[in-house]
Structure 1
């Protein structure tokens, strides 16, 4: 029987993504709630910037949950979930946590396997998307094969 090594997203990795996402939020001038979950959709790290909306806390967590659990960005559901769409009603699944608008992305390792998800909320879906993309991009730099910090994450 072959053994499969499973990579996990650590707290240190989550902090790397959050730091980059916070920096992008500052650049665009929108304080955000930012959540990182592992591949099992459990919260690893959360950040609430000073002026982020309290009502967006759970939305950020749900975007991360959706991205990790369904292994794709939440923005990809936009056209499918409208009445008559192939996934109409999908947002009611998983206890209402399934999120179908931008601001959630899966976090993948160097082999393309999902090891977590990141979600942001307070801005528009496009702004939230910019923030999570910055977090994913920061981790991509670290998780490339041969990257110096790969063993730490």
Structure 2
């Protein structure tokens, strides 16, 4: 058996990339005047970067993490999960998955390398801040 049969090369989001994405998201949140909780995870849902901006909603810290994990796990924006399965998925995943807007996968060269989750504004504001994170590192935007 060769290495080609048992391994594969892949892209990996670095901590530096996560910090750049985080800075871009914070800049957009400041521009909007909406303090946010912003979480960046790798493709396995492991946290690489997080910030709770001054005056961001406390409980939105948890939703931003859940949004990032969901987007990484499903390789799609959080709002695209089937609403009929939302409760079942949340229970099966220990409450870690959500259908709330504001979670976007970080896709580079067609490969999901992580995700960003944003919470504390309206759904539209959360998505706008998440999209700024993607733009900050040149990731593909999955929202038309």
Bin the TM-score by the shorter chain.
0.7 to 0.9
What does 1:2-13 correspond to in 2, within 5 Å?
2=4, 3-13=7-17
RMSD of aligned Cα (Å)? 1.6
Q: Distance in 1 between matches of 2:130 and 2:91?
A: 23
Query: Is the partner of 1:123 in helix, strand or coil?
Result: coil
Cα distance per residue 1:48-107 (max 9 Å; x no partner): 111111111111111000000111100213xx31xxx4x353333310111101100001
Partner of residue 121, structure 1:
119
Cα distance per residue 1:121-143 (max 9 Å; x no partner): 000111101000110111116x9
1:103–1:128 contact (8 Å) kept in structure 2 = yes
TM-score, normalisation: structure 1? 0.82
What does 1:54-93 correspond to in 2, within 5 Å?
54-77=58-81, 80-81=82-83, 85=84, 87-89=85-87, 90-93=89-92
**Which aligned runs of 4 or more in structure 1 are off by greater than 6 angstroms?**
none
In structure 2, the gaps of 5 or more residues are: none
Query: Is the partner of 1:95 in helix, strand or coil?
Result: coil
Query: Judging changes above 3 Å, is the alpha-carbon distance between structure 1 residues 39 and 88 closer, same or farther for their aligned structure 2 residues?
Result: closer
TM-score, normalisation: structure 2? 0.87
In structure 1, the gaps of 5 or more residues are: 144-153
